[in-house]
Amino acid sequence: MLISCYTKKVSPKKFHVLSFKYALDGLVAALKEEPNLKFHLLAGLIVILISLYLKLSTGDWIIIILVIGFVITVELTNTAIEKVVNEFVDNIHPGAKLAKDISAAAVLVASITAAVVGLIIFLPYFTI
């Protein structure tokens, strides 16, 4: 028997089902509470629609999907860090502020990286 994060003994099969459920619960909660995640998902959808229109190569598609996933993953991580810090730090603590600032910086770096990769991939499709 495996033990879930809620300390109930469950079978390995149920453990995997619960793990998937908890992940979906987290994604839904983040979508409800985090406007930046909605923005990044919308941006990703727009990029996918442009990619469909331009009929990107398989290699370009792989890169686009990986970059979108990277930005969403970093945004989810940032959201989790912010929630934990906000929950356990009542006053302004320099370490808490630094943790939140660094996790926000990670999203910024991921987003800039995605934009640069997007330009590298899309610009050749628009040259005359």
Residue 1: its pLDDT value, please?
Answer: 44
pLDDT interval class at 128 (50, 70, 90): low
Residue tagged active-site, from 75, 96, 107, 118: 75
- Residue 33 labelled as part of a binding site: no
Looking at every residue in the chain, the average pLDDT score rounds to 91
Fold designation for 34-126: Helix Hairpins (1.10.287)
- Residue 82 labelled as part of a binding site: yes
Q: Is 75 a catalytic residue?
A: yes
- Give the residue extent of every domain in the chain: 1-33, 34-126
Residue 17: its pLDDT value, please?
Answer: 87
- Residue 34 labelled as part of a binding site: yes
Answer whether 115's CB lies under 8 Å from 44's CB: no
pLDDT for 69-81, tens place per residue? 999 999 999 999 9
pLDDT for 21-54, tens place per residue? 999 999 999 999 999 999 999 999 999 999 999 9
pLDDT interval class at 119 (50, 70, 90): very high
Q: Is 2 exposed, middle or buried, given 0-12, 13-18 or 19+ CB atoms closer than 10 A?
A: middle
Residue 7: its pLDDT value, please?
Answer: 57
Name the CA dihedral angle for 58, 37, 39, 122, rounded to a multiple of 10 degrees. -20
